Amino acid sequence: MNISEAKNMGLVLSGGGVRGMAHIGLIKAIQEYGLKADFVAGSSVGALVGALYANGNSIEEMLQFFKETPLFQYSFFAINKPGFIDTERYFKIFERYFPQNSFKSLKMPLCVLATDLLKGEEKVFQEGPLIKPLLASAALTPVFSPVEINGTLYADGGIMNNFPKEYLEDKTDFILGSNVSIAAELQKKDLKNSLQLAGRVTGLMIYASSHKKLHECDLFIEPMELEEIGVLDKKGIEKAFAIGYDHGRSMLEKALA
């Protein structure tokens, strides 16, 4: 099916930290072609971008959200909590963008994936309060502390499901995917210590599960150039956005030709 003929389009956005600004670039390309999603599902940064999109925020407002949200701030350091940064300190920043703090207030349905650390399973949030599920979905361990919701501790959705395509399959007739969790080829010098090794193994595991599902989408982008941008490097925001926009334009140009 051609994307222009789709009755209901689903947009799936992966986790991947600052590289997730490529999702915003893709959304800009979608809008320029006069298209819009009807349903959104996302993990981690994909859930945050998806929420801003579902909230009706402009491209400029989406980018501003990530530019003004501090990743490492001394006053946000966690005390008596697992993790270096207290994730719940971000609540007030999120409240400025989502003042009603509710899935119901969004302009389109949104699925937010988080990981239930106690049961060891994925959890999808689609109704009720919005901000805490968003914080939980993006709580990248071990940097950010888990978020407590109804007595359960939740963390980054990417741990269990970094590309939650399956939640849109029965709702849409066309799925557009964006995967920014890239695992490009490394050199031996890039694996010098235990942290680099652990990061590489985790990255490969996440990439393997996302990559397979990505190729089941009707259309997708997976820009390999994003590998050059650090997951928590805020200096890469504009570059990742531009990469996503360029790939989005190119993909849509071919699809609509």
Kindly list the catalytic residues. Answer: 44, 156
For tokens 């990417």, what's the residue? Answer: 158
Among 57, 8, 13, CA closest to 31: 57
Look at the block and give the residue holding tokens 């994730």.
87
- DSSP code of 146? -
Q: Which residues contact 99 (CB under 8 A, 6 or more apart)?
A: none
Alpha-carbon distance 32 to 59, whole Å? 11
- Beta-carbon contacts of 14 under 8 Å, excluding residues fewer than 6 positions away, are 20, 42, 43, 44, 46, 158, 162, 163, 177, 178, 179, 180, 181, 210, 214
Q: How many CB atoms lie within 10 A of CB 208?
A: 10
Q: What separation in angstroms does the CA of 37 have from each of 31, 164, 172, 251?
A: 10, 15, 10, 16
Any bridge partners for residue 221, and if so which?
178
